[in-house]
Amino acid sequence: MAPISTPQTPFGRVLTAMVTPFTADGALDIEGAQRLATHLVDAGNDGLIINGTTGESPTTSDAEKDQLVRAVLEAVGDRAHVVAGIGTNDTRHSVELARTAERSGAHGLLAVTPYYNKPPQEGLLRHFTAIADSTGLPVMLYDIPGRSGVPIDTETLVRLAEHPHIVANKDAKGDLGRASWAIARSGLAWYSGDDMLNLPLLSVGAVGLVSVVGHVVTPELRALIEAHLGGDVQKATEIHQKLLPVFTGMFRTQGVITTKAALTLQGLPAGPLRLPLVELTAQETAQLKIDLAAGGVQL
pLDDT tens digit sequence for 18-72: 999 999 999 999 999 999 999 999 999 999 999 999 999 999 999 999 999 999 9
Q: What is the pLDDT of residue 2?
A: 56
Is residue 69 packed enough to be buried (19+ CB in 10 Å), middle (13-18) or exposed (0-12)? Answer: buried
pLDDT digits (tens, 9 = 90+) for 227-257: 999 999 999 999 999 999 999 999 999 999 9
Q: What is the pTM of this model?
A: 0.96
The yes-or-no verdict on residue 3 having pLDDT over 70 is no
- For residue 6, the model assigns a pLDDT of 75
Catalytic status, residue 235? no
C-alpha 129/C-alpha 110 separation (Å) is 13
Choose the catalytic residue: 65, 115, 170, 191.
170
Question: Residue 87: which pLDDT band, with cuts at 50, 70 and 90?
Answer: very high
Mean pLDDT to the nearest integer, 146-166: 97
Q: What's the pLDDT tens digit per position in 205-218?
A: 999 999 999 999 99
How confident is residue 277, by pLDDT bands cut at 50, 70 and 90? Answer: very high
Average pLDDT over residues 136-150: 96
Contact 80, 115 (CB under 8 A): no
Question: Region 155-175: what's the mean pLDDT?
Answer: 98
Q: What is the CA radius of gyration of the chain?
A: 18
The mean of the pLDDT values for the chain is: 97
CA distance 178 to 170: 13
What is the reported pLDDT for 4? 63
For residue 299, what pLDDT is reported?
86
Q: Residue 60 annotated as binding?
A: no
- Of 115, 116, 118, 142, the catalytic one is 142
Residue 135 assigned ligand-binding role: no
Mean pLDDT, rounded, for 114-129? 97
The mean pLDDT of 270-276, rounded to a whole number, is 98
Of 207, 245, 144, 220, the closest CA to residue 12 belongs to: 207
pLDDT at residue 109 in the model:
98
Question: Is 142 tagged catalytic?
Answer: yes
